[in-house]
A = this chain, B = another copy of it.
Amino acid sequence: MTAVTDSGVEGCVADVLAIAAHRDDVEQTCGGTLLRMAARGLRTAILDLTQGEAGTRGSGDERAREAEDAAKLLGVGWRQALKLPDGAIENSLENRLEIVRVLRVVRPRVVILPYWQARHPDHAIVAALGYEACFLAGLGKAPGAAPAVRQTAPSARAMRLAAPAPAPAVAPAVRSAESSVRAEGERNSLELAPHRPFKIVYASLYADVRPSFIVDITPFIEQRHAALMAYRSQYANQAAGGGLFVPEEEIRERTFAEARHYGLLAGVRYGEPFVQKEVGLVDDLTLVPVQSI
């Protein structure tokens, strides 16, 4: 992966990177979009910020294996999970710098973040944390150097950045970023060339907010569902904890209904909603989609 050059940007690992708090968040909010991007020949990647240790069912190892399976089903070439605390993610400089390192390795044109209002506090904070990391990743002068200078010595924290804990092994089919990241990791993230994504969009499925745009996922809805079901420890019908969990059939019915709702907004069958902060830019009025009346 040190020689990923086929995107025309040397060292670019993926064109689209989805960042989320928990394993299976991406599957629920933008899995269909990742499938669509892959079907267009684009390379996609996922960064999960936690190991999901606060979940009721399943162990971290199980989740890691399931995430890998889901990544395969989504056609995602790169997936990694940081170890931020599940249920207590903070928008700290330290956490931002961990994401900066990933951004400078993956070098995506587009970053997908969760929408900034959410029931789960982790989702809301990741919107700010991820945005600020994208900003820092593009600064020419070492962004993390600021606190270092103030501390006048390499701190334990800085050391930790240079040698991250090994990530769980991943199967070859998912082109693991581990080797390259670990190789890059030998150098401080600040030594990696700056990279600022061109576009940041917010997956807003969890939020009751009017989207800026919809992505048509009609051909990918079944495959997206399969990817979500890859999290067997979470969603398979089973005895333990069953009272808290909706059965598999209901998940299908519920997620398809939401996809249908957003599809209807845009005149397609199934859709995933996104918010962007910027205004749009239109080349040709006759190509603007979504019928008015």
Q: Which residues in A have some Cβ–Cβ distance to B below 8 Å?
A: 15-16, 33, 37, 40, 42, 53-56, 83, 85-88, 90, 93, 96, 109-110, 112, 119-121, 131-132, 134-136, 138-141, 143-144, 146-147, 149-150, 196-201, 208, 210-216, 253-254, 256-258, 260-261, 264-268, 271, 273-274, 276-286, 288-293
Contacts and interface: CB of A to CB of B under 8 A. Distances in A.
Nearest to A201: B285
Nearest to A110: B285
Contacts of A286: 15-16, 37, 42, 109-110, 199
A87 B135 contact: yes
B281 A138 contact: no
Given A55-B141, A146-B86, A281 B257 contact: no
A265 B281 CA distance: 9
Contacts of A210: 208, 279
Nearest to A111: B292
B254 A88 contact: no
25 contacts: A16-B285, A40-B284, A42-B284, A53-B146, A55-B141, A87-B135, A120-B135, A121-B131, A131-B293, A134-B293, A199-B286, A199-B288, A201-B288, A201-B292, A208-B210, A210-B279, A213-B279, A213-B280, A213-B281, A213-B288, A214-B281, A257-B261, A257-B264, A277-B292, A280-B289
